[in-house]
């Protein structure tokens, strides 16, 4: 209802009351009846109260207050009414001519005071009825509202009949309706649901308020029977008297019952409050389930909520890491609250009676009611930790124990069945939250890993030569195709001088990021050593020394290093465990395979001793083919390798082609062999042809 409407309602009501007051004064002074004007007056009074009712109703619903506050307000009103009624009685008892005023003025004053009291009483009754209505309908059931409406209907009927039925035989109808209204008031007074949902503090207030309201309503009832108020009401508006009286009786009955009800519910207040907080906590947790991006935040909230949910003194969470062969449960203690890690280890002693073991075996909640009496936890007493009772619940996901949630209280028998149930439910939520958190972090990790791989792939690409050096009498081609992720294949050229070209092909063991790093290191070593080493053998020996400190024990690098000397028309070659070079000259073809160990296999003298260097002379049309094991190990669907023989055959067959076409021919043949499958490993080919 708008403010304007409310103002109009109150103003109209006030005007009507003023008119009625003037009418009353005139009537009293004139001392005669006014015929049908009389009926108009009664009607106006009714309309005025109706307007007041609408106003009060609208004001209430627009300002919803807590139940005890509403009762408190009603109590304040009732006090004011009692005071008003008492003062009315006091005034009416005072000597009529005390002030020495003339009779008209005195009469008017008396009418004014009684009018004010009557209107206030009416207003109060409306307010009381609405307050009681609110309480009765709280958490209503089917029929609750019907009963209340029945009361209001009968009450209004009883009020109405007082106006139309004359004393005598008609009185009986009024009495019956009146009694029926009282009976319905009693029926409605049984609806005290609101009491149940109050906190302990609110219940205490409600007890006091309803007791006082009971008393004030009783007083109002008594005062209504006194001559002065009764006269004033009867003279003002008969139905109003009945209305006020019935509602005052309703008030007495209702608040009497409310007092008793609140008193009886007081002992259960604490239980109710706890249930309420459990519900709130569980509700919070289900919200928490979605906030799983920070694992440490999550477990922190879990233990602090454990404290709340069961009112524990201390709490901690153990994440299961695995089990030892003897059955002991390995855990990581996270986010302990009000207890130290040392104390926790003392409590979860590693024995046959270990709490962790008991829970891991049973996968059920374990409640130790009296820690110092229970044989499983007797040792705790000696620790000096204030633990009286202990509750441990397992976190089970897919039939597997992923953690244990512990809570303690510093007194015995601290956890009842409700606590165990709540903790079990709570543990289920925690399990889901932890699982979700792990899944998220796993997928984040996977993403990060993929990012790393991409970086490594880019790096690997940049480590390979961006262009091939050009020598007038050399036709050079190279290709390197990494497998799915990052491989360890490496090739490089170094233009030593206008007549000499260094060629390296290698394979770093392992794949992925580590292979890319080793490759970077090998490139650095190769690029710097090739400038200062006189021979390929020397480069390989020094490269092995250089790698000594950085290679892991199970990692190695195979390498083939050749230097083409155009001036002398020869090629010198050293091999560190790599696939032999294919050399084709006219009708002759061969695997050139000087002995040599893979870099990193050993750093003893034996490495130097066994590394040899070979020199071959070159002439026009000679083809040198360098490759990695991705070529000869390429498999067909039956698992058969491409092999060295096939490789040699293709190379020989295509020897008259350009370097690039030789490579293409080999790749085509390998693809034919694998049947379009991926090579499985990196493949690298370098062809150097004399022209």
Partner 1 sequence: MADFKVHQRDGEGVSVIDLKGYLDAHTAPDLENAFQRLLNDRKFNIIVNCRELSYISSAGLGVFMAFIEDVRKNKGDIKLTNMSAKVYNVFDLLGFPILYEIFKEEQEAIKRFSEQKKS
The site for partner 1 (CB under 8 A) is made up of: 488, 507, 509-511, 553-556, 558, 577-580, 595-598, 600-602, 606, 610, 639, 641
Q: How far apart are CA 394 and CA 183, in angstroms?
A: 57
For partner 1, the closer CB: 305 or 540: 540
For partner 1, the closer CB: 92 or 558: 558
Shortest spacing between CB 604 and partner 1, in angstroms: 9
Q: How far apart are CA 177 and CA 172, in angstroms?
A: 9
For partner 1, the closer CB: 473 or 595: 595
For partner 1, the closer CB: 513 or 601: 601
CB neighbour class for 584 (10 Å; exposed up to 12, middle 13-18, buried from 19): buried
Q: How far apart are CA 584 and CA 690, in angstroms?
A: 11
Helix ranges (DSSP H) in 533-635: 536-547, 605-610, 629-632
For partner 1, the closer CB: 9 or 583: 583
3-state secondary structure 14-81: HHHHHHHHHHHHHHHHHCCCCCCHHHHHHHHHHHHHHHHHHHHHHHHHHCCCCHHHHHHHHHHHHHHH
The residue assigned the tokens 């007791």 is: 211
Shortest spacing between CB 342 and partner 1, in angstroms: 32
How far, in Å, are 78, 240, 252, 315, 459 from residue 215 at the CA level? 10, 22, 7, 50, 90
Length of the chain: 691
For partner 1, the closer CB: 357 or 578: 578
Residue 489 CB coordination number (10 Å)? 26
For partner 1, the closer CB: 429 or 578: 578
Shortest spacing between CB 360 and partner 1, in angstroms: 25
Cβ neighbours of residue 97 under 8 Å, at least 6 residues apart?
106
Nearest to 125 by CA among 68, 69, 183, 49: 49
Shortest spacing between CB 639 and partner 1, in angstroms: 7
Shortest spacing between CB 577 and partner 1, in angstroms: 4
Shortest spacing between CB 580 and partner 1, in angstroms: 8
For partner 1, the closer CB: 33 or 638: 638
How far, in Å, are 468, 509, 547, 584, 666 from residue 553 at the CA level? 34, 11, 11, 37, 35
For partner 1, the closer CB: 370 or 521: 521
Q: What is the DSSP string of 654-676?
A: TTTS-HHHHHHHHHHHHHHHHTT
For partner 1, the closer CB: 265 or 575: 575
For partner 1, the closer CB: 13 or 540: 540
Q: Residue 518 belongs to what H/E stretch?
A: helix 512-532
Shortest spacing between CB 612 and partner 1, in angstroms: 11
Q: How far apart are CA 485 and CA 474, in angstroms?
A: 33
For partner 1, the closer CB: 239 or 598: 598
For partner 1, the closer CB: 300 or 610: 610
β-partners of residue 503 are 493, 562
For partner 1, the closer CB: 463 or 601: 601
Shortest spacing between CB 488 and partner 1, in angstroms: 8
Shortest spacing between CB 656 and partner 1, in angstroms: 29
β-partners of residue 322 are 330
Shortest spacing between CB 367 and partner 1, in angstroms: 42
Exposure of 522 in the CB half-sphere (CA atoms within 13 A): 35
The residue assigned the tokens 């409600």 is: 206
> What angle is formed at CA 181 by the lines to CA 180 and CA 185, rounded to 5 degrees?
115
Retrieve residue 451's tokens. 């990012």
Shortest spacing between CB 633 and partner 1, in angstroms: 8
Retrieve residue 83's tokens. 């005071």
Long-range CB contacts (< 8 A, 24+ apart) of 373-381?
Answer: 373/412, 377/347, 379/346, 379/349, 380/346, 380/347
Shortest spacing between CB 441 and partner 1, in angstroms: 24
- The separation between CA 292 and the C-alpha centre of its own chain, rounded to angstroms, equals 7
Helix ranges (DSSP H) in 350-464: 355-362, 379-383, 417-463
Measured distance between the N- and C-terminal CA atoms of the chain, rounded to whole angstroms: 103
The residue assigned the tokens 């000679």 is: 622
Shortest spacing between CB 627 and partner 1, in angstroms: 12
β-partners of residue 570 are 565, 617
For partner 1, the closer CB: 72 or 598: 598
Shortest spacing between CB 559 and partner 1, in angstroms: 11
Shortest spacing between CB 610 and partner 1, in angstroms: 5
């Amino acid at each position: 209802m708008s403010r304007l409407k409310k103002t109009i309602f109150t103003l109209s009501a006030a005007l009507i009351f003023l008119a009625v007051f003037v009418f009353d004064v005139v009537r009293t002074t004139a001392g005669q009846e006014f015929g049908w004007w009389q009926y108009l007056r009664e009607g106006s009074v009714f309309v005025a109260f109706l307007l007041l009712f609408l106003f009060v109703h609208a004001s209430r619903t627009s300002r919803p207050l807590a139940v005890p506050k509403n009762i408190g307000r009603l109590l304040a009103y009732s006090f004011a009414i009692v005071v008003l009624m008492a003062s009315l009685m006091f005034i009416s008892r005072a000597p009529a001519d005390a002030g020495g005023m003339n009779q008209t003025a005195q009469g008017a004053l008396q009418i004014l005071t009684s009018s004010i009291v009557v209107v206030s009483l009416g207003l109060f009754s409306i307010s009381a009825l609405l307050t009681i209505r609110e309480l009765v309908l709280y958490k209503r059931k089917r029929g609750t509202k019907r009963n209340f409406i029945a009361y209001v209907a009968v009450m209004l009927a009883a009020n109405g009949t007082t106006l139309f039925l004359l004393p005598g035989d008609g009185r009986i109808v009024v009495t019956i309706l009146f009694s029926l209204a009282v009976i319905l008031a009693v029926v409605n007074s049984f609806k005290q649901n609101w009491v149940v949902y109050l906190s302990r503090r609110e219940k205490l207030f409600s007890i006091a308020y309803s007791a006082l309201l009971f008393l004030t309503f009783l007083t109002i009832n008594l005062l209504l029977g006194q001559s002065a108020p009764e006269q004033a009401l009867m003279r003002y508006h008969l139905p109003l008297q009945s209305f006020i009286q019935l509602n005052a009786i309703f008030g007495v009955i209702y608040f009497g019952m409310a007092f008793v009800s609140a008193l009886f519910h007081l002992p259960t207040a604490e239980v109710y409050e706890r249930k309420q907080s459990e519900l709130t906590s569980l509700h919070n947790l289900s919200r928490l389930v979605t906030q799983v991006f920070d694992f440490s935040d999550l477990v922190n909230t879990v233990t602090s909520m454990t404290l709340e949910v069961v009112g524990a003194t201390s709490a901690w969470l153990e994440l299961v890491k695995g089990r030892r062969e003897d059955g002991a449960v390995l855990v990581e203690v996270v986010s302990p609250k009000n207890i130290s890690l040392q104390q926790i280890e003392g409590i979860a002693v590693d024995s046959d009676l270990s709490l962790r073991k008991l829970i891991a075996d049973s996968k059920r909640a374990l409640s130790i009611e009296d820690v110092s009496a229970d044989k499983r936890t007797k040792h705790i007493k000696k620790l000096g930790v204030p633990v009286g009772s202990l509750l441990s619940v397992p976190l089970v996901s897919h039939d597997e124990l992923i953690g244990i949630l512990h809570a303690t209280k510093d007194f015995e028998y601290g956890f009842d069945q409700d606590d165990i149930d709540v903790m079990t439910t709570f543990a289920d939520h925690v399990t889901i939250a932890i699982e979700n958190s792990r899944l998220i972090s796993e997928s984040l990790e996977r993403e990060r890993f993929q990012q790393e791989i991409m970086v490594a792939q880019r790096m690997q690409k940049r480590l390979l030569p961006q262009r091939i050096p050009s020598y007038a009498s050399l036709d050079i081609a190279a290709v390197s195709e990494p497998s799915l992720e990052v491989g360890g294949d490496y090739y490089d050229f170094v233009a030593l001088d206008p007549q000499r070209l260094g060629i390296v092909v290698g394979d770093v063991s392992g794949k992925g990021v580590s292979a890319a790093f080793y490759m970077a290191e090998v490139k650095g070593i190769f690029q710097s050593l090739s400038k200062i080493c006189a021979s390929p053998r020397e480069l390989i020996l020094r490269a092995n020394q250089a790698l000594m400190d950085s290679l892991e024990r199970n990692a190695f690098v195979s390498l083939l290093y050749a230097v083409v000397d155009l001036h002398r028309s020869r090629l010198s070659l050293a091999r560190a465990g790599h696939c032999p070079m294919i050399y084709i000259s006219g009708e002759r073809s061969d695997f050139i395979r000087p002995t040599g160990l893979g870099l990193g296999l050993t750093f003893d003298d034996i490495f130097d001793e066994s590394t040899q260097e070979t020199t071959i002379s070159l002439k026009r049309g000679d083809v040198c083919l360098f490759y990695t094991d991705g070529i000869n190990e390429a498999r067909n669907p039956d698992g058969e390798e491409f092999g060295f023989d096939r490789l040699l055959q293709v190379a020989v067959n295509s020897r008259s082609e350009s370097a690039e076409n030789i490579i293409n021919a080999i790749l085509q043949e390998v693809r034919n062999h694998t049947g379009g499958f991926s090579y499985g490993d990196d493949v690298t080919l370098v062809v150097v042809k004399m022209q």
